[in-house]
Every structure is written in C-alpha cells, then in structure tokens.
Amino acid sequence: MGRLVIVSNRVPQPRERTHPAGGLAVGLRDAIKGRETLWFGWSGVTAEATSTKAKTVRSGGVTFATLDLAEADYRGFYRGFSNGMLWPLLHYRVGLSVFRRDDLAAYRRVNEAFAAALAPLLRPDDSIWAHDYHLIPFGAALRRLGVQDRLGFFLHVPFPPRALYEALPQGGSLLRDFGAYDVVGVQTQEDADNLNDSLGHVGSESVSVRAAAFPIGINPADFAAAARKAETAPETERLRQSLAGRSLILGVDRLDYSKGIPQRFGGFAQLLKRFPEHCNKVTLLQIAAISRGDVTEYRSLRRELDQLAGRINGEHAEFDWAPLRYLTHSVPRNTLAGFYRMAAVGLVTPLRDGMNLVAKEFVAAQNPDAPGALVLSRFAGAAKELEGAILVNPHDPDEIAEALHLALTLSAEDRRVRWRQMWQSVQRNTAATWAGHFLAELDAGPTHAA
C-alpha cells in the first residue's frame, strides 16, 4: 500500500492536528492511522503573492504541506466562486448564487497552483484523495502536469438536480473536470444520481467516471465515551442547574443559511403558541457559531436571528424563564457532548445538507437507558440512515412544532426503541468505514496511465 495524499482547501491548524474539533479532521483521523500520509492544502494565510512551493512540517505522524494565497486569489477562489456561487447552488439556493467570471478565473488559478505545488512532492505509488467543492478542477490540473497516480474525489455537500445545476455558467467544463478522477464519492444515492445525470449530459465529450455513495460517519464509541465523561463536567452541571428542571431542546450549527435556523426558531415559536402546556417547561438552546461573518448574506442572517430571538423571548418569556437561548460563539466539542447527552430533544433541521454529523453525534451521546429524541430534516443526508428520527419538512414551522410536541411527549420506551434503531446505523456507518470503503475502491484500481 502506497502513501495516502489528502488534499483539502485548508489543512488542520496546529492544535487541530492532535485534537481535531470536528469536520474533515475528525472524519479522516481513522483513515490515516498506520498509513504514511501527506496532507496538502492552503495554510490559512494570505500573502502578497500565491506561493509556488509548499512548506512542509511533520506533526503527529503526518506530513503537512501548505501554501499561502494572494489576497486577490483568496477572495475570488474562496469567498467568490466557492462560497458565493458553488455553495448556494449545491445547496439548492440558486437565488443566492453570484457568478463573476473573475471569481471563476481565480478558482481555476488556485486549483492550478495547488496542483503545481503538490506535483513535485508526489511518488508514483501515491493514492491522492481530494475533498469538496473547492477542488473540483484539481484532478484535471494534476493530470495536465503528467501525474498518473490514482486520484479520488469526495464531495461533502449535496449535488442538486441537473435542472438546478445548469444555472451555473460554464458548468459543463466543471463537470468534465470530474473525468480526471478514478473514484468520485458523494454522501447519498440521491446525490450520486443527480451528479451522474449531469455527467451523462455533458455533451459530446462523455465523462466515463460515475459517482457512488459513501456516507460519512463519526467515531461513535469515542464520542459516546466523551459524552459519558462530560455528563458530570462543570459546564454540563451549570447548564443543568440553569434549566431548573425544564427539558432542553438543543440545536448546534454553523451560522449558515443552509441550516434552516430562522425556520427552526419559527417552529419553536409555534410550539409555544399551539402547545401551551410546554410553556415554562422547555428551553431551546441554539448554538450557531459565526462563519463567513464578512459575507453580506451571513450578516443579514445574523440580524434576522437576533430579531427573531428577541421577539420569541419578548412574547413568551416569564420573569424567571427565557424560552430561547442563542449563542453565536463556538462551544468545545467535548462540552457539546455533555450537552447532547442531557438534551431531551436534538433539533437538526437544515434546509439541505450533505450528511449532517450533528445528528449522528446527538445519537452517540445519548444515555441508552433514557435517550432523548431526534427531530431531523428530511433533507439532511442523515435522514436516509436514521430511521428512528422524527422527520420534518423544515420549511413548515407547524410541522416542526408538531414534531417537537411528539418528541417531548414520547414514552420512555418509545424513545429507547427509536434510539436503538439510530444507534445501530451510527455504529454501522462510521468514519472508519467511510474512509475504508472509499480508499479500498481507490487503492484497488490501476494507475491512470494503465
């Protein structure tokens, strides 16, 4: 088995290399155990010019190689095309997409720079695994430099139906870039079907590669252990005491319009209006760490949530009870594990999500003898796996309210039955099995030249 080369938009920062906080670093931790690994990507630093040569450092048994980006390249590649055009498009939000040819040029320029900086570091028997929508053209850029190693690509976000994807100007050239990869993975079969439909209609230049579903997971045993330990931690005890015996409904997200947080707040407000027996008996804690705070749409979203939170508390609060607690800063992952464990309801209602690992973390954190219930958007990839969840259409506040009422009134035995169904799925599709299945497919084939 040759070396594994991971390529991502950004490599883990120094602390995350030994204590991953979430996301890709956690997902790949098991994949890189016992295997020589090079992890390549952006350093997170902007400079006067984009680097032409990678800087390398070894940490925790992994070699990290990074390059700096020019400020203009960063703006066009990351803020412009990746997150201003592709992110909303891939999440079915075409109306929020902004296309600029200069951004597309920067996107391709950075992918070319990544390829040029990585190519001298490669060995003939490497298996290269590129991640996410920032790097779709990366494989084709490597092929143009003569790289013949096995190349894999995994898309962590959804892929929309062809009718939506075709709103992307010059989208056909991006589809053809998938042809450089030997294996293409997505989260769900629906995403695979959508991408394959688009790949099949590129035009005369057919793309032979086909996407397959590799659902990502977590390390459930580790997270369950962290939750048990955090159950008696000072932060968990502070939260428990502050609730004064009330049931906790918990939402944990990045502050992003794809997460459906305004609709969630609306659903919670409807719960209090339509099912007044829950007034002064429940508290919603919404943690929504700010991301991309310099982008107009995200600033507008934060203002909207500030107003909604104030309105809900103004209408329903008592002198000794605020129904909604809303945080815009991050909470450490181990602390969250304790919060998940004490929550009566996990509320996970994205408008569209590739997988959503919060749902799986909530399940893993539960006390098997007295588990909470999970209210989950049917448009999250996790909904395809977690059969015991209470599924909702997140666009309907009344449906969210009804689901919350059901979750809060389920019998203890019903909650245990639902949890056991979900726990079996979380144990079956772990981070290790996700990485193992993908890499087995990638390693099994011949080099591209063959």
* 449 belongs to a structural domain: no
Same structural domain, 314 and 349: yes
Contact in structure between 270 and 277 (CB atoms under 8 Å): no
Lowest mean pLDDT among 30-34, 429-433, 436-440: 30-34
Q: What is the mean pLDDT of residues 194-201?
A: 95
Same structural domain, 21 and 9: yes
442 pLDDT above the threshold of 50: yes
Residues whose CB falls within 8 Å of the CB of residue 87, separated by 6 or more in sequence, listed in order: 133, 157, 258
Where in the sequence is the domain holding 123, given as residue range(s)?
4-217+431-444
Same structural domain, 248 and 276: yes
Same structural domain, 263 and 229: yes
Given the residues 91, 134, 156, 278, select the one marked as catalytic: 156
The predicted pLDDT at position 206 comes to 65
The predicted pLDDT at position 25 comes to 73
**What is the percentage of the chain residues whose pLDDT exceeds 70?**
95
* 450 belongs to a structural domain: no
* 374 belongs to a structural domain: yes
* 305 belongs to a structural domain: yes
The predicted pLDDT at position 296 comes to 72
The predicted pLDDT at position 18 comes to 60
What CATH code is carried by the domain that includes residue 112? 3.40.50.2000
Q: Tell me the pTM.
A: 0.95
pLDDT in tens, 320-345: 999 999 999 999 999 999 999 999 99
Same structural domain, 176 and 285: no
The DSSP line for 59-76 is ETTEEEEEEEEEHHHHII
Report the number of distinct structural domains present in the chain: 2
Same structural domain, 280 and 146: no
pLDDT in tens, 215-262: 999 999 999 999 999 999 999 999 999 999 999 999 999 999 999 999
Same structural domain, 184 and 236: no
Same structural domain, 55 and 172: yes
C-alpha count within 13 angstroms, C-beta hemisphere, residue 262: 14
Burial level of 142, CB count in 10 A (0-12/13-18/19+)? buried
| Strand 324-327 with 282-290, pairing | parallel
- Length of the chain (residues): 450
The predicted pLDDT at position 298 comes to 83
* 47 belongs to a structural domain: yes
Same structural domain, 352 and 231: yes
d(CA 267, CA 270): 5
155 pLDDT above the threshold of 80: yes
Same structural domain, 311 and 399: yes
17 pLDDT above the threshold of 80: no
204 pLDDT above the threshold of 60: no
- In whole numbers, what is the pLDDT of the chain averaged over residues? 94
127 pLDDT above the threshold of 50: yes
* 169 belongs to a structural domain: yes
* 160 belongs to a structural domain: yes
429 pLDDT above the threshold of 80: yes
**What is the percentage of the chain residues whose pLDDT exceeds 90?**
88
The predicted pLDDT at position 403 comes to 98
The DSSP line for 23-36 is HHHHHHHTTTTTS-
The predicted pLDDT at position 450 comes to 43
pLDDT band for position 202 (cuts 50, 70, 90): confident
* 127 belongs to a structural domain: yes
Same structural domain, 91 and 229: no
Same structural domain, 189 and 307: no
291 pLDDT above the threshold of 90: no
In the residue annotation, 156 being an active-site residue is answered as: yes
Q: How far is CA 6 from CA 118, 136, 146, 354, 400, in A?
A: 11, 14, 19, 20, 39
In the residue annotation, 353 being an active-site residue is answered as: yes
